[in-house]
Amino acid sequence: MYITSEIREELYKTWQLLLSAKSIVLTSHIDPDGDAIGSSVGLYHLLKASGKDVCIILHSAVPANLRFLISTTEFYQASDIQSKDKVASADWFCILDLNHASRLGQSVQELFTHFTGHTVLIDHHLEPSIIPDRLHSIVKACSTCEIVSEMAKSSGIIPSVESATALYTGIMTDTGGFRHPRTTSDIMRLAAWLIDCGANPVMIYDKVMNAETPHSLRLLGMALSSLQIHLDGNLVLIVLTKQQLEHYLPEETEGFVNYTLSLAGVKIGALITEWPDKVKISLRSKPEYDVRSIAQKYGGGGHQQAAGARISHGDLHHIVQTIITDCETYLHSI
């Protein structure tokens, strides 16, 4: 049990501090996923139900399949004019599901340059480099939503249907639909508790996972037909060029990388996408292999089995070749 009584006590302390706040801004990472939105919305509703003035500010827009979660929240993109006033009147700033300030995105970082209130970081990534007033960095947690759920539990709070729905979403997406190695019996019990609180697993799965459009399914077709197999089948790549992605958004490639690991025998999979302002790398590995160190070489990070990086300058072909070499070197070294 990694959620010890000490951790519960610390989570309860943070909850008490948040209850003494006047106004709280919640934020999470750029290109938000189910856990980023789920933990923000889940905590939003816990705080709102306790009478707090709270809002969510993100750098990026919310992907279409997760928008149902924010519809009942006060949500801003950092570029919205209201966000400045919100930050100016906030006394607490909660950062969820990220470990480096750069993951906030430039616009959120800028908003908080002169922030003098308190900060709390709740996250499950390795090696947090942000120094907040309250730190909950639990790398064994399957998701940030797990930690927020434990905070509610430890504080004797029953999440509302909206909160439970959001928290269940992040647990579901960060465990790859209850399939990744952190899917423990404790996680299943926590998910069951959220269902008891009103989360509807069938509806959530349908909204989050069955949200393709003909346009996005065609992109998946293009991605799968361009699958590259390297290193005797140990490495599988999907590479999409700027031309192929011309009419698409980064969120429309979400989940594509998982197909690389569905091939029998593969050890490492990568999705490399070329956008006008960056090349995005998404890495995945089978449990015995660690792709985080490869992502770090490109200034990125993440988890051992799911990591990523963004490269702002560089030739796509060169990046692909370097990643193949990095994976080869890594697989030889273990």
Positions that interact with ligand 5GP (CB under 6 A): 100, 103, 125, 257, 282, 300-302, 306-310
Question: Per CB under 5 A, does 174 bind Mn ion?
Answer: yes
Residue 91 beta carbon to ligand 5GP: minimum distance, rounded to whole angstroms? 28
Stretch that binds Mn ion, among 31-39, 48-56, 198-206, 251-259 (CB under 5 A): 31-39
Compare residues 12 and 275 and give the one whose CB is closer to ligand 5GP. 275
DSSP string for residues in 164-206: HHHHHHHHHHHTTTTTSTT--HHHHHHHHHHHHTT--HHHHHH
d(C-alpha 25, C-alpha 134), whole Å: 15
d(C-alpha 141, C-alpha 138), whole Å: 6
Question: Per CB under 5 A, does 254 bind Mn ion?
Answer: no
Question: Per CB under 5 A, does 35 bind Mn ion?
Answer: yes
With beta carbons less than 8 A apart as the criterion, state whether 39 and 164 touch: no
The item of ligand 5GP, Mn ion, none sharing an interface with residue 38, based on CB under 5 to 8 Å by kind, is none
Residue 173 beta carbon to ligand 5GP: minimum distance, rounded to whole angstroms? 10
Closest residue by beta carbon to Mn ion: 35
Residues 6+ apart with CB under 8 A from 33: 63, 173, 174, 254
With beta carbons less than 8 A apart as the criterion, state whether 42 and 159 touch: yes
Compare residues 159 and 308 and give the one whose CB is closer to ligand 5GP. 308
Residue 47 beta carbon to Mn ion: minimum distance, rounded to whole angstroms? 20
The item of ligand 5GP, Mn ion, none sharing an interface with residue 138, based on CB under 5 to 8 Å by kind, is none
d(C-alpha 172, C-alpha 180), whole Å: 10
Residue 307 beta carbon to Mn ion: minimum distance, rounded to whole angstroms? 12
The count of C-alpha atoms lying within 13 angstroms of the C-alpha of 45, restricted to the half-sphere facing its C-beta, is 25
At residue 179, the 3 state secondary structure works out as coil
* Structure tokens, 112: 């908080």
Q: Which parts of this chain interact with Mn ion (CB under 5 A)? A: 35, 97, 143-144, 174
